[in-house]
Amino acid sequence: MLINKFERHIWLTTSGSSQQKLVALSKDALLASAQAVNHHLQATSTDIWINPLPLFHVGGLAIQARGYLSGAAVDTFATKWSVRHFYEMLLAKKGTLTALVPAQVYDLVVNKLPAPKSLRAVIVGGGALQGSLYTQARELGWPLLPSYGLTECSSQVATASLHSLSTSQFPPLEILPHVQVKTNEKGCFCLSSPALLTAYASFKAEEWQLIYPVAEGWLVTEDVGTLHHNLLKLKGRKGDFIKIGGENVEVGRLEEILEGIKLEQGIHTDMVLGAIPDERLGYAIHLFSTTPLVQSVQTLYDQRVLPFERIRKVHILQAIPRSPLKKLLRGELIRLASQSY
């Protein structure tokens, strides 16, 4: 069996790349990451982690490893995500540290929940945190530390510093000491770290196929960005940069515009943009929503973008396709859009 070839390893799924695969992480890799993050957060045995992330995801598993090394208590929020139940647990347990994905931060903000006084840091990962959402969360007192990480590096690569909480400005991300980062000729991040994966596994032709992506100590990612000294700025994934009618478009910028409108309007329902392949234009922007009441949002959005970036089609869905961590499944959006033509 596949699992027998890798002692002291755990297999986790990842949907961050172009296709889903299993990632083999060693115990040593997970602990190397946990030690670096504990140092960055100045975590001690007096801390209380509240873990709302699933343990089959690296974000949730990494919290357990950090608690193991620091001696901190870890209380796991084991039920299906509920912003109210999570908030009540934070208050009851007097949590000092937690980790969230942007969708969970949005739930806290749209419900206008103030941060508990006991809480000193919230790592935000699993997707890009938009500036408008960061600002509103900070106004409610949430001590957010945006981060960049991936399953293949056992969690975080770069994270905002605790010192960044002294201002309200969106913070830069500091590369953690256990990781070396460089960019290749395409602008993609390349990582070297003791926290890197051992192998990928994908199931093809009725058998498991192993891939060893770390070459000469480096892993090439699909994430694009820039470096300045020990600071990292993520621009997006390779697939986030598209052309519409020959014009270059950064999808992340459009998503930030929509996110700002949703916050302005106090929208609780799920609503996202999708870059959908289009025979004539190359790509077209579609809006996916769980409510048909989208006209005001579409009007505001179209007023704030260039003509070729406007929404060309609206899809009403029962649910937006997301992973258990609320990460948007873009491939599924494309499939759903193709079915509606």
Residue range(s) in the chain whose domain bears CATH number 3.30.300.30: 241-339
Which stretches of the chain are DSSP H helices? Answer: 27-41, 58-70, 83-93, 102-110, 131-139, 251-265, 295-304, 330-339
**Out of 232-241, 248-257, 266-275, 296-305, which region has the weakest mean confidence (pLDDT)?**
232-241
What is the per-residue pLDDT for 20?
65
At 47-73, the pLDDT tens digits run: 999 999 989 889 999 999 999 999 999
- 213's CB contacts (< 8 A; 6+ apart) are 152, 197, 199, 200, 219, 220
If you average pLDDT over every residue of the chain, what do you get?
Answer: 92
What is the per-residue pLDDT for 327?
82
pLDDT band at 204 (very low <50, low <70, confident <90, very high): confident
Q: What fold, for 241-339?
A: GMP Synthetase; Chain A, domain 3 (3.30.300)
Tell me the mean pLDDT in the region 22-40: 97
| Residue of 155, 152, 153 lying closest to 126 (CA atoms) | 155
Tell me the mean pLDDT in the region 125-129: 85
Which one is predicted more confidently, 209 or 300?
Answer: 300
**Out of 29-33, 72-76, 321-325, which region has the weakest mean confidence (pLDDT)?**
321-325
Which one is predicted more confidently, 252 or 65?
Answer: 65
Residue range(s) in the chain whose domain bears CATH number 3.40.50.12780: 9-237
What is the per-residue pLDDT for 120?
98
Which one is predicted more confidently, 341 or 237?
Answer: 237
pLDDT band at 268 (very low <50, low <70, confident <90, very high): confident
What is the per-residue pLDDT for 199?
95
What is the per-residue pLDDT for 17?
47
- 229's CB contacts (< 8 A; 6+ apart) are none
pTM, two decimals, is 0.85
Q: Which long-range contacts (CB under 8 A, 24 or more apart) does 271-280 make?
A: 271/297, 271/320, 272/320, 272/328, 272/333, 273/311, 274/330, 274/333, 274/334, 274/337, 275/239, 275/242, 275/249, 275/251, 275/330, 276/313, 276/333, 276/334, 276/337, 276/338, 277/334, 278/244, 278/312
What is the per-residue pLDDT for 78?
75
pLDDT band at 238 (very low <50, low <70, confident <90, very high): confident
pLDDT band at 244 (very low <50, low <70, confident <90, very high): very high
Give just the sign of the alpha carbon dihedral 288, 292, 293, 298. positive
What is the per-residue pLDDT for 15?
57
Q: What fold, for 9-237?
A: Rossmann fold (3.40.50)
| Separation of alpha carbons 21 and 157, rounded Å | 20
At 108-117, the pLDDT tens digits run: 999 999 999 9
pLDDT band at 16 (very low <50, low <70, confident <90, very high): low
Tell me the mean pLDDT in the region 281-301: 93
pLDDT band at 126 (very low <50, low <70, confident <90, very high): confident
What is the per-residue pLDDT for 117?
97
Tell me the mean pLDDT in the region 147-159: 97
How many residues are there in the chain?
341
CB 51 within 8 A of CB 74: yes
Residue 84 has pLDDT above 60, yes or no: yes
Residue 314 has pLDDT above 90, yes or no: yes
What is the per-residue pLDDT for 4?
64
**Out of 89-98, 109-118, 184-193, 232-241, which region has the weakest mean confidence (pLDDT)?**
232-241
Which one is predicted more confidently, 161 or 336?
Answer: 161
Tell me the mean pLDDT in the region 251-255: 90
Tell me the mean pLDDT in the region 287-291: 94
Percent over 90 (pLDDT), the chain: 72
CB 130 within 8 A of CB 166: no
